[in-house]
Amino acid sequence: MTTVFDERYSSHPADYVNYDTERLRKEYLVPTLFTADTVNLTYTHVDRVIVGGVMPVEGAVKLETVDALKADYFLERRELGIINIGAPGCVEVDGTLYEIGTKEALYVSRGSKEVVFTSNVKTSPAKFYILSTPAHREFPTRKVGQGDAQVIELGAAETCNKRTLRKLLVKDVLETCQLQMGMTELAEGSCWNTMPCHTHSRRMEVYMYFNVPEGQAVCHFMGPPQQTRTIWMANEQAVISPTWSLHSGVGTSNYTFIWGMAGENHDYDDMDKVQPNELR
């Protein structure tokens, strides 16, 4: 069992415009989330969010603290959101076992000392996608299944963006300090997410694309609305969206993604919308 840790710094939009493809990918793309029996963590200084993945195969995998946190345990000053995108598995938090099925979520309170991940069947492992943010107080650890989600239907087949959005770890479902997470599934034949797109300088965001069929890809758009750039993404990769950046994507097929946010103002609809014909 290993922890792989990577650190990213914040960037200024006036510098970002000079980045070439390689630099854009180095700063914002999180290319590897799921490797057997490893905790993959990327710490971005954008709102101090940690994005990661855990795929237990041979046995249980524990979320260990990392030196950069200077904390006795990982969640000493943080809260944690978990969404399982693999086969069913379990998360044990300080001795309490939570069974987490495919596309189910778990919110883990600040102050939880031991978080341990397992897969039910090693030949078909669970894949726990995780986001963690600094937290100022404790809120109860709670599982959120698909039935607990707030569901909204968005877009239309005519504009190639028909999709179902499930709010999982959000303020209308449970209390958190700053973390908000959910999942958006594109309908067959639709490929555009988050269009019309938006910014929200109050919150940063991370998108993690999955269920991208073999051989297909998602082209993720970022940047201030008048200075957009693209990052081509493969299945099960994440991308950091700084507070000044829009976040939207188009796939060569339909796909699903997890969005997660940190910052202030938990109102999901707090967005500065940008119409497609205003983009540059």
Ligand X SMILES: O=C(O)C(=O)C[C@H](O)C(=O)CO
Known binding-site positions for Zn(2+): 198, 200, 205, 247
CA–CA separation, 221 and 231 (whole Å): 7
38, 40, 42, 184: residue in contact with ligand X (rule CB under 6 A): 184
Least separation in angstroms between residue 52's CB and Zn ion is: 20
Q: Using the rule CB under 6 A, which residue among 42, 132, 193, 256 binds ligand X? A: 193
What does the buried/exposed string (b/e) look like for 171-198 if buried means 16 or more CB atoms within 10 Å of the residue's CB?
eebbebbbbbbbbbbbbeebbbbbbbbb
User: How do 163-169 and 38-44 pair as beta strands?
Assistant: unpaired
**Least distance in angstroms from the C-beta of 168 to ligand X:** 11
Binding interface with Zn ion (CB under 5 A): 205
Tokens of 116: 């341990």
Q: How far is the CB of 254 from Zn ion (least distance, A)?
A: 20
Is residue 247 part of the contact set for ligand X (CB under 6 A)?
yes
The nearest distance, CB 107 to Zn ion, in angstroms, is 20
Interface with ligand X, residue 165, by CB under 6 A: yes
Which DSSP letter does residue 171 get?
Answer: T
Q: What is the DSSP letter of 124?
A: B
Q: Which does 163 bind (CB under 5 to 8 A by kind): Zn ion, ligand X, none?
A: ligand X
Cα angle 228, 230, 231; round to 5: 145
Q: Say if CB 146 and CB 166 are below 8 A apart.
A: yes
User: Using CB under 6 A as the criterion, what x/- string covers residues 194-213 for binding ligand X?
Assistant: x----------x--------
Residues in contact with ligand X by the rule CB under 6 A: 154, 163, 165, 182, 184, 193-194, 205, 247, 259, 271
